[in-house]
Amino acid sequence: MYAIVTLVSGLLFGLGLAFSEMTNPAVVIGFLDVFGDWNPSLLIVMASAIVVGMIGYTIKNKRLKPLLGGYWQVPNLRHIDSKLVVGSVLFGIGWGLSGYCPGPGLTALINNPSEGFYFVSALMLGSGLHFIQTRITNK
């Protein structure tokens, strides 16, 4: 049952990305270009994501444990530190330059292999560097 729910959730997420055109970097860059030819259509996507998140947290707050898991895994950090700020800035720069965030970037491997290869390579390189840096500083 867990595998089926995971598969259906992933398919629903992927369909949402495709339907909202989040997999099209031109639409994403148009949304980020607020001083140029701005495309506000992704505001609907963001508002929908907020509503889904609110519904999810409402369900979570009414249940003692998840239907398919042992316990709720919710982040409990409440402070903003340099790691969060630097990570957010790097994510935003990458998103703005490429028009891809990680989920849609993976779809680019099929939809637009030349761009997708460079994006996913940079994503893996950055993740690897973070992994190495974390291992070095946590020794």
76-119 pLDDT, tens digit per residue, is: 888 998 888 988 998 888 888 888 888 888 888 888 898 889 99
What is the pLDDT, as a whole number, of residue 132? 92
What is the pLDDT, as a whole number, of residue 50? 95
Q: In terms of C-beta density within 10 A (0-12 exposed, 13-18 middle, 19 or more buried), how is residue 22 classed?
A: buried
Flag whether pLDDT at 45 surpasses 70.
yes
Flag whether pLDDT at 71 surpasses 80.
yes
Q: Are 49 and 139 within 8 A, CB to CB?
A: no
What is the pLDDT, as a whole number, of residue 121? 92
Flag whether pLDDT at 47 surpasses 90.
yes
The overall average pLDDT reported for the chain is 88
CA distances from 31 to 69, 94, 100 (A): 37, 15, 12
Q: Specify the amino acid at residue 3.
A: A
Q: Are 25 and 98 within 8 A, CB to CB?
A: yes
Flag whether pLDDT at 7 surpasses 90.
yes
13-27 pLDDT, tens digit per residue, is: 888 888 888 888 888
